Amino acid sequence: MASIFNDLKQTFLQGNIVVRLIYINVATFLLSLLLSVALGLFNVNITDLLRNFYLPADLLQILRRPWTPITYMFMHAGPWHLLGNMLWLYWFGRLFLYFFSAKHLRGLYVVGGLLGGLFYIVAYNLFPVFNNQLYSATLVGASASVLAIAIATAVREPEYRINLMFIGPVKLKYLALFIVLFDILYVGSNNAGGHIAHLGGALAGWWYAQGVNRGRDITRWVNVCIDTIKGLFRKSKRKPRKPKMKVHTYNSSRNADYEYNACKKAQSDQVDKILEKLKKSGYGSLSEEEKRHLFEASKR
């Protein structure tokens, strides 16, 4: 089991941003399933807990749960909902990376989800048709984020062709147009909130691609925030530095001169003592060692 987790960890760390986003979405969904099973054994309804991470349409509920505009874009209502969004993210995410950077995709995923959520909130609070659903409606899923990536790719390379099953090669501009028209036509369906959020995501994708062409990047602030948070975590994980030892260095030539002068003075003092002894007691009073020193001094 440990090797499986290690393999998954390595795949996540070595994968590109598309792989990492897919991992995060799948892991979030699997965690919600595990919690559902575990809490179900104690007759606890998991739905009430998970709703704390869905995006509510009611503004007061959003104020009580201000994290939901971010968390909702990583949550999914079921396995087919998750599978559909992850396939779109995989296909268009890889295509997106041919024309833009990984940081742009990361930032656009968040911006697309935020703008999709904003469209959803505004629509449910603005149009009377949603009055009866306002306090119970919630939004969940990565659809707006994924659609932002798809539309940005189509705006960047409208003539690029992709092969669709049972249809054949289709230019991205026609696929994008079909997606947007489909969401507009189905705003009145049972999944009205989802289609409205899709339109917000599509607008984010178009806005981003147009801005990049003019030298503006609407995802920059998101990437700055993410990098800042990552930097704080890295700093907290660093081990405290050991105090540096002070190393005093001296000039080598000065050291050599000092040692030479000290040695020369010691030799001179020793010779003076021997000469003083010689003067008082004569040569015979000197030891063999003193005689040797005196002989060596005479040769200098």
Q: 193, 212, 237 — which closes off a domain?
A: 237
Which residue's structure tokens are 């000197």? 286
Is the separation of the CB atoms in 113 and 145 below 8 Å? yes
Q: How far is CA 127 from CA 117, 184, 188, 274, in A?
A: 16, 15, 12, 117
164 & 197 share domain:
yes
Average pLDDT, the chain: 86
133 & 58 share domain:
yes
Burial class of 111 by CB neighbour count within 10 A (0 to 12, 13 to 18, 19+):
buried
Q: Does the residue 246 lie in any domain?
A: no
62 & 203 share domain:
yes
What is this structure's pTM? 0.76
Burial class of 169 by CB neighbour count within 10 A (0 to 12, 13 to 18, 19+):
exposed
Q: Which domain holds residue 285?
A: 252-299
Mean pLDDT of 60-84: 96
Q: Does the residue 294 lie in any domain?
A: yes
Instruction: Band the pLDDT of 250: cuts 50, 70, 90.
Output: very low
158 & 278 share domain:
no
Report the domain count for the chain.
2
Structure letter (DSSP) for residue 133: G
pLDDT higher than threshold 90 for residue 43: no
282 & 184 share domain:
no
212 & 280 share domain:
no
Q: Does the residue 245 lie in any domain?
A: no
Q: Does the residue 118 lie in any domain?
A: yes
Domain of residue 93, CATH code: 1.20.1540.10
113 & 256 share domain:
no
219 & 290 share domain:
no
pLDDT higher than threshold 70 for residue 230: yes
Among 34-38, 264-268, 274-278, 293-297, top mean pLDDT goes to 34-38
227 & 259 share domain:
no
| Per-residue model confidence as pLDDT tens digits over 78-112 | 999 999 999 999 999 999 999 999 999 999 999 99
pLDDT computed for residue 8 by the predictor: 75
Q: Regarding predicted confidence, which is higher, 268 or 191?
A: 191
Q: 237, 260, 279 — which closes off a domain?
A: 237
pLDDT higher than threshold 80 for residue 276: no
List % helix, strand, coil for the chain (3-state, nearest 5).
75, 5, 20
Instruction: Band the pLDDT of 10: cuts 50, 70, 90.
Output: confident
Backbone dihedral region for residue 168 (phi beyond 0: left; psi -120 to 50: alpha; all else: beta)? left
Lowest mean pLDDT among 105-114, 157-166, 234-243: 234-243
Q: Does the residue 278 lie in any domain?
A: yes
Q: Does the residue 73 lie in any domain?
A: yes
224 & 262 share domain:
no
Q: Does the residue 247 lie in any domain?
A: no
232 & 259 share domain:
no
pLDDT computed for residue 249 by the predictor: 46
pLDDT higher than threshold 50 for residue 254: yes
| Per-residue model confidence as pLDDT tens digits over 196-212 | 999 999 999 999 999 99
Is the separation of the CB atoms in 118 and 200 below 8 Å? yes
| Per-residue model confidence as pLDDT tens digits over 164-180 | 888 889 999 999 999 99
Neighbours of 36 (CB within 10 A): 15
Q: Does the residue 61 lie in any domain?
A: yes
265 & 212 share domain:
no
